[in-house]
Structure 1
Amino acid sequence: MDAVTAVPPYQTLRVRNQDGICFMQIHRPEAQNTIDDRLIDECSDVLDRCEDAATIVVIEGLPETFCFGADFSAIRAAQGVMRGPEPLYDLWMRLTTGPYVVISHVRGKANAGGIGFVAASDIVVADATATFSLSELLFGLIPACVMPFLVRRVGFQKAHYMTLMTHPLDVSQAAAYGLVDAYDANSDALLRRHLSRLRRLSKTAVARYKRFSSALGGAVAASRPLALATNKEVFSDPRNIEGIMRYVDEGIFPWERP
């Protein structure tokens, strides 16, 4: 029987540790698994605990939604006055550079900031229901913090196309882009096959390799100042905030008229 280690209770996550594998499930069913400040802080706390204890980190969502991006209701409640983008960008950097293999297990919708978690991962497995989209431009926003990670994974033109078109990619398209590494109707079995191989790796070897691979692809760190500045610019535009608030209050998209 594999040993399962207890973890502190979290409000936005369900976490369990099992023989050097940390399973971190985003669990905000009441908010479509969107990202708020508490989720970012709790994910960061989990990664703090994984620095020494975990060789593999598995990020999962709900069966219908992996992660749908920013919590517009939280933005509405804050009247557009939000914490800066630095904690979320740095969280994704930790996934990219940290001393553990990060696997995103995607079922259902991954949108906007959800793509940040996917693109920052080392390996992405998915089931047949998975879809991947960047909806930011529909609201006058830009996936500024997502782009460095997405470009690193799929290349500039594919990330550029996803940003401009805004429509979802199905799992076969995402695999063709290189955003998904493997998919199957039974993604749980697919994940288990990956874990059975990856758990043979030593944490020391993984940490050394991640340091090496991060140094080879240094664009994520180099792009941080520009990504953060651009994010702050679009989220400080009152027209964009007004559009977000109207969408939350009335369900009307920015291009629609009341």
Structure 2
Amino acid sequence: MTFETLTAETRDGICTVTMTREHSGNVLSAALLAELDHVVARAEAADGPSVLVLTGGARVFCAGGDFQALAEGDGILDPAPLYALWQRLATGPFVSVAVTRGRVNAGGVGLAAACDIVLAESGASFALSELLFGLYPACVLPFLIRRVGEQRAHYLTLSTQPVGAETALSWGLVDAIEDPVESLLRKHLLRLKRLSKPAIAAYKQYRAHLSPSLDAARPAALAANRAMFDDPGLRAGIRRYVTEGTFPWEG
């Protein structure tokens, strides 16, 4: 299948997905979500790949939500498909691996945190910038808290500052660092590709049973996200940032 926002190649039970809109930050557009949904559905099939590798560009993995789409129209993306996609990465019958280089921001942090394994180059950075725009990372937090705990997720939300790969490693957001990250990925795949898909599926189903937080948090996360983007003033501030390059607090 030909995609517009990504490439996908499957070999030896490993599907490597590369987001290809680095010039626009690999933002979580409707098109990208639809294409990721297709790829994940294939990995969920019994005869699908047992490992799903998700990567972006050298300068940005994923910059978060699609502010441009918001600025160009009144339509607001329903957060339910995004949350469902992340939950499928976290609980699906395959190993999901995020390979991060450069900037990982806002929803990009959620995308990485949803994956089973997060690998990074030393230059990767991770930030939650939402509060700068009057938002907060409602859908990101359930996935991030599972990895780093409540206080560190709270700090990332309030500070809005990026943290480097080494800090992310010490917090548990990143599992391993190496330059170049492709070498690190190859080392992991040597063992991951030997795991049977039924065993992966059984283990991840059991893990989801042990930690049902994602299911429990979903209604509140979706309601909070919808309430934020229903605010006309908030949407106007985002449009102003996109069209004029000024932040909401700037005169």
TM-score higher than 0.5 here?
A: yes
Question: How far apart are the structure 2 equivalents of 1:30 and 1:61?
Answer: 11
Equivalent of 1:167 in 161, 166, 169: 161
* Count of residues paired in the alignment: 249
Residue number in structure 1 paired with 2:54: 59
1:251 aligns with 2:245: yes
Match in the other structure for 2:40:
47
The residue aligned with 2:118 is: 124
Q: Aligned AA for 1:167? A: Q
Unaligned runs of 5+ residues in structure 1 are 1-7
Which secondary structure state, in structure 1, belongs to the residue aligned with residue 88 of structure 2? helix
Q: Distance in 2 between matches of 1:99 and 1:200?
A: 15
CA offset digits 1:22-66 (Å, max 9, x no partner): 111111133121111111111001111112311100010011000
Q: Equivalents in 2 of 1:226, 1:32: separation in Å?
A: 28
SS of match in other structure, 1:162:
helix
Deviations 1:166-224 (A, max 9, x none): 01000001001100000012211000000001111100100000101111110011100
Structure 2 letter corresponding to 1:83? L
- Residue by residue, what CA displacement relative to the aligned partner does 1:138-175 show, whole Å, maximum 9, x if unpaired? 00011000000001111111101000000100000100
Runs of 4+ in 1 over 6 A off after TM superposition: none
The amino acid across from 1:142 in the alignment is Y
Shift of 1:130: 0.4
Tell me how far apart the structure 1 counterparts of residues 5 and 146 of structure 2 sit (CA, whole Å).
28
Equivalent residue, structure 2, for 1:194:
188
Bigger drift between 21-30 and 57-66 goes to 21-30
Would you say 1:17 and 2:17 are equivalent positions? no
Superposed counterparts of 1:208-227, under 5 Å = 208-227=202-221
Q: TM-score, normalised by structure 1?
A: 0.95
One-letter identity of the residue aligned with 2:20: H
Which residue of 91, 95, 98 maps to 2:92? 98
SS in 2 for 1:42: helix
Q: What CA distance in whole angstroms lies between the structure 2 residues aligned with 1:26 and 1:144? A: 24
Report whether the alignment pairs 1:83 with 2:72. no
Deviation, structure 1 residue 83 = 2.7
Amino acid at match of 1:174: A
1:5 aligned partner: none
Are positions 1:206 and 2:200 aligned together? yes
Normalised by the length of structure 2, the TM-score is 0.98
Q: 2-side partners of 1:75 and 1:26: how far apart?
A: 21
One-letter code aligned to 2:22: P
Q: How much does 1:238 deviate?
A: 1.2
Contact 2:29 2:65 in 1 (8 A): yes
Structure 2: gaps of 5 or more residues: none
Q: Do residues 185 (structure 1) and 179 (structure 2) align? A: yes
Question: What per-residue deviation string (whole Å, max 9, x for no partner) do you get for residues 56-101 of structure 1?
Answer: 000100110000001111111123x213100000000000110000
What percent identity do the matched residue pairs reach?
47
CA distance in 2: counterparts of 1:27 and 1:132, whole angstroms: 20
Partner SS state of residue 167, structure 1: coil
CA distance in 2, matches of 1:119, 1:30: 23
Q: Measure, in 2, the Cα distance between the counterparts of 1:28 and 1:187.
A: 20
Q: Aligned Cα RMSD in Å?
A: 0.8
Equivalent pair of 1:31/1:71 in contact (CA under 8 Å): no
Q: Does 1:73 align with 2:68?
A: yes
- Partner residue, 1:4: none
Amino acid at match of 2:36: C
**Cα distance in 2, alignment partners of residues 17 and 74 from structure 1:** 31
For residues 77 and 182 of structure 1, what CA distance do their matches in structure 2 show? 39
Instruction: Tell me what 2:137 maps to.
Output: 143
> What's the secondary structure of 1:223's corresponding residue?
helix
